[in-house]
Amino acid sequence: MAGRLRRTAHLASLIALGLAAGGCAILLAGVAVAQESGSAQQSGPAAPASPAPNQPGFIDAVGRWVQDGASSLKSNLQEAQDKMGKLGSQAREATKDAAGAVVALPNTRMLTAHELCTAAQNGAPDCNAAAVTFCRGKGFQTGKSLDMQSEQKCSSGRFLLEGRAPTSSECSNQIFVTRAMCQ
């Protein structure tokens, strides 16, 4: 992941420099056209040019703006990379701690399941009851639902042949417990 962020930062820097170079080329072409049209309109002898002090112009300002933007982007990407690294290590530690806590519980197992969640009195799926049913079927006393999956069950595939979306009377959503912690 760190390599991907570095490549992204490098690519963003290259794009910014390319845009700056293209913008400078367009500006220089516009200045050249303006100078040509200005010199064509002047009639008579040209006044001698007095040496002007070295003042930063528009092109210098655009160059600094692009360079500052690229530096800012690079530092922001570095900060994001550091934060993602910290989050990843925290997540790894939390996972280790949780796995250790589950292993430390006596007679506790995480099992893969496919148990239908029945409807509760309020109409919502009761996946805890499905997890208990599943765990009891495996010889445990109780269980808790860890993961669930929603599936669409259709009475027929006629809507597919007709090339249309199914109606609610043709298909219903069912929720299954896919992983349970049994004790």
Task: Based on the fold, state whether residues 86 and 142 are members of the same structural domain.
Answer: no
Task: Based on the fold, state whether residues 73 and 153 are members of the same structural domain.
Answer: no
The secondary structure of the chain as a DSSP string is -HHHHHHHHHHHHHHHHHHHHHHHHHHHHHHHHHHHHHHHH--SPPPPPPPPP----HHHHHHHHHHHHHHHHHHHHHHHHHHHHHHHHHHHHHHHHHHHHHHHSTT-EEEEEEEEPEE-TTSSEEHHHHHHHHHHHTT-S-EEEEEEEEEEEES-SHHHHHTSPPPTTTEEEEEEEEEEEE-
Q: Which range of residues forms the domain containing residue 23?
A: 2-35+60-101
Task: Based on the fold, state whether residues 74 and 126 are members of the same structural domain.
Answer: no
Task: Based on the fold, state whether residues 88 and 126 are members of the same structural domain.
Answer: no
Residue 135: its pLDDT value, please?
92
Whether 89 is covered by a domain: the verdict is yes
Task: Based on the fold, state whether residues 71 and 94 are members of the same structural domain.
Answer: yes
Residue 40: its pLDDT value, please?
47
Task: Based on the fold, state whether residues 20 and 77 are members of the same structural domain.
Answer: yes
Whether 50 is covered by a domain: the verdict is no
pTM: 0.40
Task: Based on the fold, state whether residues 160 and 143 are members of the same structural domain.
Answer: yes
Residue 62: its pLDDT value, please?
85
Task: Based on the fold, state whether residues 148 and 72 are members of the same structural domain.
Answer: no
How many independent structural domains does the chain possess?
Answer: 2
Whether 148 is covered by a domain: the verdict is yes
Residue 4: its pLDDT value, please?
54
Task: Based on the fold, state whether residues 11 and 90 are members of the same structural domain.
Answer: yes
pLDDT in tens, the chain (183 residues): 555 555 555 555 656 556 555 555 565 555 554 555 544 445 445 555 555 556 668 888 888 888 888 888 888 888 888 888 888 888 888 777 766 665 556 678 888 989 999 888 898 889 999 999 999 999 999 999 988 998 888 888 888 888 888 888 888 888 999 999 998
Task: Based on the fold, state whether residues 141 and 159 are members of the same structural domain.
Answer: yes
Whether 16 is covered by a domain: the verdict is yes
Task: Based on the fold, state whether residues 96 and 10 are members of the same structural domain.
Answer: yes
Contact 175, 125 (CB under 8 A): yes
Whether 69 is covered by a domain: the verdict is yes
